[in-house]
Amino acid sequence: MPDPTMHDAILVLNAGSSSIKFSLFAVRGGELELDCRGQIEGIYTSPRFAARDAAGATLSEKAWGEGARLGHDGALAHLLEFLRGELADYRLAGVGHRVVHGGLVYTQPVRVDAGVLATLGKFVPLAPLHQPHNLAPIRALLERAPDLAQVATFDTSFHRTNPAIAQRFAIPAELHDAGVQRYGFHGLSYEYIASVLPQFDARAAAGRTVVLHLGNGASMCALAAGRSVASTMGFTALEGLMMGTRSGAIDPGVLLWLMDERGMDARAIERLLYHQSGLLGVSGISSDMRALLASGEPRAKLAVDLYVYRIRREMGSLAAALGGLDAIVFTAGIGENSAEIRARVMAEAAWLGVRANGRANARGGPRISAAKSRVAAWTIPTNEELMIARHTRRVLGV
Ligand code: AMP
């Protein structure tokens, strides 16, 4: 008999190439309540674990030192050991995972079994730098705890509502049919923003809104009545805006030139476009916006100028896809924290009807547009983990 005094809990895992982030949510009174969160970083170089409660107080910390290689399995084992104590008061109802690619198959979150995991494995070539790491803890948990319910949630799913024309590249049909299409990413972040937008701005929620997810990875999404109709990312998370270390949109002719003139192969081009470009590549200083804004170097200024210019261009493109604009929303690391970048982006969007409220922007909003602004501007913190927990709860019916 299950103990009726115990609450259900949902564990959310977000596994990347060098880290596993986790959040534990309790299901209380029908609501999801954060119990604790944290991460293990540097799992192949110098692993560090930290867990904090919902108020941000440290619950546990550990560092393994330089050169220690925990790997994904070792990191997961440490995390489960920590959670054994945390979970004493809960019944673990299931684990929700962030998975970057659902391909054309998964337009919704899905409960994972061995068959689903095999299908998700087929999308590794579509997101080689993320998908294998996302799947690693799913596979490990299927082996360690086969009865534990697991749900995969996808960064692509939210964009499956894009009209067919927005998902199409101008290439032969055979390649389109083989899956070479525009998918779009950061969908869990956009879905969360769409879900809370009615609390901030009923007109934006029912109308035409561009959301700017400006983090280390960066993209923008056009929402029509809360549904994604276009986004700046495409076949991979490389497309669109300039990012911390990723180039964003680049003339495909450049790739041909790199192969012909520089003798670069796919792996070398991958390193260049994913890890050595963007803010880091242009500035030669850092991929961190804070460092560039604080720097007096002309190359840092150029990198920030290009970052803002690319946003200006994409804003016009998404407003065109929407046929007008009612609101813009800033979110993620840079979007939530950098009043300077927000101010510059709003100034560049004046032609679309955006008027900033400088003081509100400096304070961090949430409303950062002037009362007379035709287009409302907001800064709203994203919460991808909560979105994953909500999906997991719904799929598992807890
Ligand atoms: P995320 O991937 O959403 O965690 O965002 C990480 C990025 O946010 C970092 O690379 C920083 O450049 C940026 N960031 C965080 N805080 C600030 C800030 N106060 N000003 C400018 N950029 C910031």
pLDDT tens column, 44-65: 999 999 999 999 999 999 999 8
DSSP 6: P
Gyration radius of the chain over CA positions:
21
Q: Do residues 37 and 121 make contact, with C-beta atoms less than 8 angstroms apart?
A: no
Same domain, 132 and 223: no
Residues 256, 313, single domain; the answer is yes
In a domain? residue 215: yes
Q: Give yes or no: residues 364 and 238 share one domain.
A: yes
- 380 and 258 within one domain: yes
Q: What is the CA(150)–ligand 1 centre distance, in A?
A: 31
Q: Quick check: is 101 in a domain?
A: yes
Q: What is d(CA 28, CA 6) in angstroms, rounded to the nearest whole number?
A: 10
Residues 45 and 131 reside in one and the same domain: yes
Residues 330 and 216 in one domain: yes
Q: Which of 154, 189, 220 is the last residue of a domain?
A: 154
What's the whole-number mean pLDDT along residues 93-100?
Answer: 97
Q: Is residue 316 part of a domain?
A: yes
Q: pLDDT tier at 88 (50, 70, 90 boundaries)?
A: confident
Query: Rounded CA gap, 190 and 217, in Å?
Result: 14
Q: Which residues line ligand 1 (CB under 6 A)?
A: 215-216, 244, 288-290, 332-334, 337-338
Please say if the pLDDT value at position 299 is more than 70: yes
Asked, for residue 104, whether it belongs to a domain, the answer is yes
Residues 6+ apart with CB under 8 A from 83: 11, 22, 24
Identified catalytic residue from 8, 35, 155, 201:
155
Domain boundary among 127, 154, 181: 154
| 197 vs 325: CA distance, rounded Å | 15
Q: What is the CATH number of the domain that holds 62?
A: 3.30.420.40
Cα separation, 37 vs 50, in Å, equals 8
Measured distance CA(15)–CA(131) in Å, rounded: 9
239 and 347 together in one domain: yes
Q: What is the pLDDT of residues 300-313, one digit of tens each?
A: 999 999 999 999 99
Tokens of 204: 């934006």
**209 and 328 both lie in a single domain:** yes
324 phi and psi, to 5 degrees?
140, 180
Report if residue 41 sits inside a domain: yes
Same domain as 123, residue 57: yes
Mean pLDDT of 18-24: 94
What stretch of H or E contains 82?
A: helix 71-86
The answer to whether residue 342 is domain-embedded is yes
Residue 21 belongs to domain spanning: 7-154
Is residue 89 part of the annotated active site? The answer reads no
Residues 104 and 219 in one domain: no
Question: Span 133-152, mean pLDDT?
Answer: 95
Length of the chain: 398
Q: How many domains does the chain have?
A: 2
Q: What pLDDT is stored for residue 126 in this prediction?
A: 87
Select from 188, 219, 338, 344 the residue to mutate for testing ligand 1; criterion: most ligand atoms less than 8 Å from CB: 338
Q: Is 114 inside any structural domain?
A: yes
Question: What's the mean pLDDT in 188-201?
Answer: 98
Q: How far apart are CA 328 and CA 349, in angstroms?
A: 10
pLDDT at 4 over 70: no
Peptide bond just before 366 cis, omega within 30 deg: yes
Contact at 8 Å (CB) between 25 and 10? Answer: yes
| Mutation pick for ligand 1 pocket among 334, 337, 383 (CB with most ligand atoms within 8 Å) | 334
Whether residues 115 and 35 share a domain: the answer is: yes
Q: Which helix (H) or strand (E) holds 93?
A: strand 90-99
12 shares its domain with 102: yes
Q: Residue 2: which pLDDT band, with cuts at 50, 70 and 90?
A: low
Nearest CA to ligand 1 atom 8: 333
Distance from the alpha carbon of residue 4 to the mean position of ligand 1, in angstroms: 43
Whose CA is closest to 96, among 33, 15, 166? Answer: 15
* Whole-angstrom distance, CA of residue 359 vs CA of residue 241: 27
Decide if 143 is inside a domain.
yes
pTM, two decimal places: 0.95
